[in-house]
A and B are shown apart, each in its own frame.
Chain A
Amino acid sequence: DAGITQSPRHKVTETGTPVTLRCHQTENHRYMYWYRQDPGHGLRLIHYSYGVKDTDKGEVSDGYSVSRSKTEDFLLTLESATSSQTSVYFCAISPNSDSYEQYFGPGTRLTVT
């Protein structure tokens, strides 16, 4: 158990509204990641963080922003949600700089109507 929680676990929102998803970890891991999972696409990296206030873009970052003001929290924000952002969002951590393995949270199912 990597001590990762995500909130909310489910959310339905309307097109054009801002949405923030939260990832919280309890073990002070340096590296954190946000992925989305869609049928036929597997897992795709949105943004990642390698420390407090240090973030970078992933493969599908358009329409998303992130913030990490504390080691334990990594926030994903959809500034103006669109139907194409309906997906399941997973947060992950990597225990240390020598580890390739990433450990995932339980996911947030977001529906944009």
Chain B
Amino acid sequence: DQQVKQNSPSLSVQEGRISILNCDYTNSMFDYFLWYKKYPAEGPTFLISISSIKDKNEDGRFTVFLNKSAKHLSLHIVPSQPGDSAVYFCAASAGQGGSEKLVFGKGTKLTVNP
């Protein structure tokens, strides 16, 4: 049973436009959500996170929105740049951090075209 779902395997956008990556979850106990970015042949890198007590978190060009009632979160990248081309993983956790495990989605491959 997949608890974190990224239903779009790939997304292609033009440079300068907005990229929207979506993630759905099924476990109502999840209370913290993270996005990771992964380039080929490298480890995933932490991008941005959001606690369930918030509905929005922003860091530069990256904004994550959380809709708890819909069990849905999204990552907005504005403006998109070619260097943003990577695989993006959504992850979720329930608990108090550290010892709590992260559950990852399958990832969405973003391609930003010049």
Contacts and interface: CB of A to CB of B under 8 A. Distances in A.
Contact of A100 (B43, B45, B49, B106): B49
Contacts of B41: 107
Interface residues of B, number: 25
A88 to B, nearest CB: 9
Contacts of A97: 96-99
Given A42-B105, A42-B106, A90-B43, A31 B99 contact: yes
A40 B105 CA distance: 10
B102 interface: yes
Given A100-B102, A106-B42, 4 more contacts: A50-B98, A92-B43, A99-B98, A100-B32
Contacts of B99: 31, 50, 97
Interface of A: 4, 30-31, 33, 40-45, 48, 50, 58, 90, 92, 94, 96-107
A72 to B, nearest CB: 17
A101 B45 contact: no
B79 to A, nearest CB: 26
Given A41-B106, A44-B104, A96 B46 contact: no
Contacts of A101: 34, 46, 49
